Amino acid sequence: MKLLNLFPFTKNEDEKYFDKVPYTVYNHEALHKQAKVTVVIPVYNAEKYLVKAIDSVIVQTFGFSNITVILIDDGSDDKSRPILKKFVDLYDNIVVVLLEENTGTPAFPRNLGIHLANSTYLMFLDDDDWLDHDGIRQLYVLMEEAKTDYAVGKTIQVDSKKAKLVGRYESSRVRKRVSPYSIPHIFYHLGPTARMMRLSFLKERNIRFPEMKYAEDKQFFIDILTTVGEISTTTENIYYINRFSENVSLTRQTDVMEKMDTNIAVLKYVLDKQLPEEEEKMIVNRLVEFDSITRLFNRKHFVKSENKQEYYDKFQEVLSLFASYKRSYSIEEILIKPLNRVYLNLYLNEEYNRIAALAEWATSGEKGKIEKVEGMPYKMAELSDGTTIPIEILVKARVAEEKSSGKKAEFSIELTGHRTPEIEAVVLQNRDFVEDVFAVEGLIDQKENLLTVAFSPEDLAFLEEGKYILTLRYDDYESVMVSKDSDATYELKGKDKTYVLYQTKKGNLSLIVKQ
């Protein structure tokens, strides 16, 4: 059944947009009932993972009766549609929409999901990913308490070898009603994962995905973050991204140059917004430093390419576009990572062979020797042409002194590098369960570039048995490991657990908790 004019609004350009691709709706009655949360899932040839994605919504601790699921199939030719029809028969709050033709982008299905949704809040879930069982409840409670239009939590990327946190800056701490611009690198993670939005906010401001094969989510969330005013964040686990080798997504199939064309289009879109300069700089930094330098040059596809001139020409398009807007700030001043500043300088000096040699070194896994130049530490990139390039080390931490009284282990740590940040917390991340990350404050006494960190069994009593990576957090989410020259080990005995501080094989301070 074709569904139009379900809600009492005037027919406008929005409805003409959704008329352009014919579609059929199953269980459309569910859209007459307002839910607390709608989960929109675009589907395309997802038979292998689709059931897991849908089941992760059904088993939510939030209560499935409080949720409407809208699954929009974009012309699948595998077994996805039969799977969807089975779920429609089983659950009256699962809505299935079948598009008559493939649109070639997740944009139209997601926009249609927003258009059809009838709920207080809305989330997106890709058809090959899954939600943490408590994910929706965590974001819903945060949204209700903070009264913001947008909230985001922890995203975990999983493949056959390991799991890793994604976009850790947006889930490094609990924040309520803060400006998105107060979070460093908030524009670096702009996919649909682990975020909840107030549906009325999206509809009233007519925020939708642009129809691009790539970067449509980037532009969509830039629109949200530049409009929303205040957001909230949580450290809780919300979303799991599927990166198993056999899962070949549309994004992975996209050509590098095609990706760059869409990135350039988004850069122009942002520059045309005429945002306040400090706000614009945060977004331009992401689009240039990450998308146009790291993803263009610091990748193996560049090293292996036989047509590197194509890469240089595409980067020139980025620089020429930015220059045409005549901003008061330069590309050089907004770059943060030292390696990217080196790439840019080599490009501006037309040292193209050295760019290729640097990329070969950087993507080979070589660590590079650390040397001091005028008292400051640099990592020396040893290039295949026999030359070296010094790369600044921004922050380095080293145990200068260590001692234990039996009840406490105390480490005096020296910070060196091209800047001296204020250390905010000791961060402990479980080596086997990347979801378990703990920031412990109150252990640090810092005086300029020297700090003392003292551990006691009481400080660590909340930790479960396991091995933990130890880092020092600064600038809200950045972290640095602590090198330890001595192989001395310190055992602190608590009531029922023992805490062992030791030197790892790589020479870093770390922690084991055992019974």
Mind listing the pLDDT tens digit for each residue in 194-239?
999 999 999 999 999 998 888 999 999 999 999 999 999 999 999 9
pLDDT at residue 360, rounded to an integer: 96
pLDDT tens sequence across 148-174 = 999 999 999 998 778 888 888 899 999
Question: What's the pLDDT at 19?
Answer: 81
Domain end point (choices 204, 220, 250):
250
Average pLDDT of the chain?
92
Claim to verify: residue 149 and residue 291 sit in the same structural domain? no
95, pLDDT greater than 80: yes
Q: Is the pLDDT of residue 114 over 70?
A: yes
Q: What pLDDT shows up at residue 91? A: 97
240 with 285, same domain: the answer is no
Answer whether residue 301 shows pLDDT above 60: yes
Query: What one-character DSSP code corresponds to residue 169?
Result: G
- The pLDDT value recorded for residue 255 is 86
- Asked whether residue 221 falls in the same domain as residue 298, the answer is no
Contact 84, 49 (CB under 8 A): no
How many domains does the chain contain in total? 3
Indicate if the pLDDT at residue 404 is higher than 70: yes
* Range(s) of the domain holding residue 200: 13-250
Question: What is the DSSP-derived secondary structure letter of residue 286?
Answer: I
Closest among 437, 474, 473, 465 to 237, alpha carbons compared: 437
Are residues 235 and 303 part of one domain?
no
Indicate whether 273 pLDDT > 60.
Answer: yes
Q: What is the DSSP letter of 133?
A: T
In a domain? residue 140: yes
**What residues pair up with 156 in beta bridges, in sequence order?**
165, 240
How is 155-224 classified by DSSP, letter by letter?
EEEE-SS-EEEESGGGSSS-EEEE-GGGSTTGGG--SSTTEEEEHHHHHHTT------SSSHHHHHHHHH
Query: Distance between CA 431 and CA 450 in Å, rounded?
Result: 28
Residue whose pair of structure tokens reads 């350009």 in the numeric block? 13
Q: Which residue has the tokens 């460093």?
A: 184
SS3 for 2? coil
The pLDDT assigned to 39 comes to 98
Q: Are 476 and 427 in contact (CB under 8 A)?
A: no
Half-sphere exposure of 424 (CA within 13 A, CB side): 12
pLDDT of 9 strictly over 70: no
pTM, rounded to two decimals: 0.91
* Contact in structure between 22 and 98 (CB atoms under 8 Å): no
Query: Phi and psi for 9 in degrees, rounded to 5?
Result: -130, 160
Whether residue 119 is contained in a domain is answered as yes
Dihedral sign of CA atoms 41, 42, 43, 49 in order? negative
- Residues 330-363 have pLDDT tens digits of 999 999 999 999 999 999 999 999 999 999 999 9
Statement to judge: residues 453 and 360 lie in one domain: no
